[in-house]
Amino acid sequence: MTKELDCRGLACPAPVLQTKEALEKEHPKVIKVVVDNEASRQNVSRFMESQNLEVTVLQEGPDFHVTGRIGKNAATEAPVEKKPDTEHKKIMVMVANDCMGHGDDELGEKLMMSFLKTLKEMGEELWRLVFVNNGVKLTIADSNILPVIQELEKEGVHILVCGTCLTHFNLLDKKQVGETTNMLDIVTAMQLADKVINI
């Protein structure tokens, strides 16, 4: 059985949510989702892969045709991310601005640089670093703070960058660090975290 979804014109996370609902309710062997932007293509593809589907993408004009097929080694049930038994807390930090505080943006940028550099002090408890709204501007090539974020990623911190926000600011192809994500991933990460810090 093949399920087809036309998600053109929908902002994330709607294409991912529709894909998730179709997989959970109908259990198709093949699911084809049409989207019309790069952020949705990445998010739908990654979600399908997380469900153990073999994913192919075909671009036709401005549209992306994302197809997921049940593979030979696919699990019969979709994987569920669970909190691992660990002695460390899982702290998620959500960055919603490109500077810290209000008033002087130059000072705010210095404070943000200092904050992100100091996050290393959390050690293994720093689990996810999520960039939304103006915060996504810190993840692009022009950002003075980019090397600090790249260093955190090298040290094992999972970086998530909002695809809807990148698209809004026309920065999707300028992102230099992290994984383009959607609100479903962000909300799921908040559920799994022991603590969420908003900046």
- Please check whether the two domains, 2-70 and 91-198, share a CATH topology: no
The one-letter amino acid code at 157 reads V
In the CATH scheme, what is the code of domain 91-198?
3.40.1260.10
When pLDDT is averaged across residues 27-36 and rounded to a whole number, the result is: 92
Q: Is the pLDDT of residue 76 over 50?
A: no
Q: How far apart are CA 113 and CA 110, in angstroms?
A: 5
Band of pLDDT at residue 73, cut at 50, 70 and 90: low
Domain boundaries, given as residue ranges, for the chain = 2-70, 91-198
Q: What is the pLDDT, as a whole number, of residue 85?
A: 45
The one-letter amino acid code at 134 reads N
When pLDDT is averaged across residues 88-108 and rounded to a whole number, the result is: 92
Q: Please, what is the Cα angle at 53 between 51 and 54, to 5 degrees?
A: 150
Name the CATH topology of 2-70.
Translation Initiation Factor IF3 (3.30.110)
When pLDDT is averaged across residues 3-16 and rounded to a whole number, the result is: 88
* pLDDT tens by residue, 129-186: 999 999 999 999 999 999 999 999 999 999 999 999 999 999 999 999 999 998 888 9
Backbone dihedral angles phi then psi of residue 153, each to the nearest 5 degrees: -65, -40
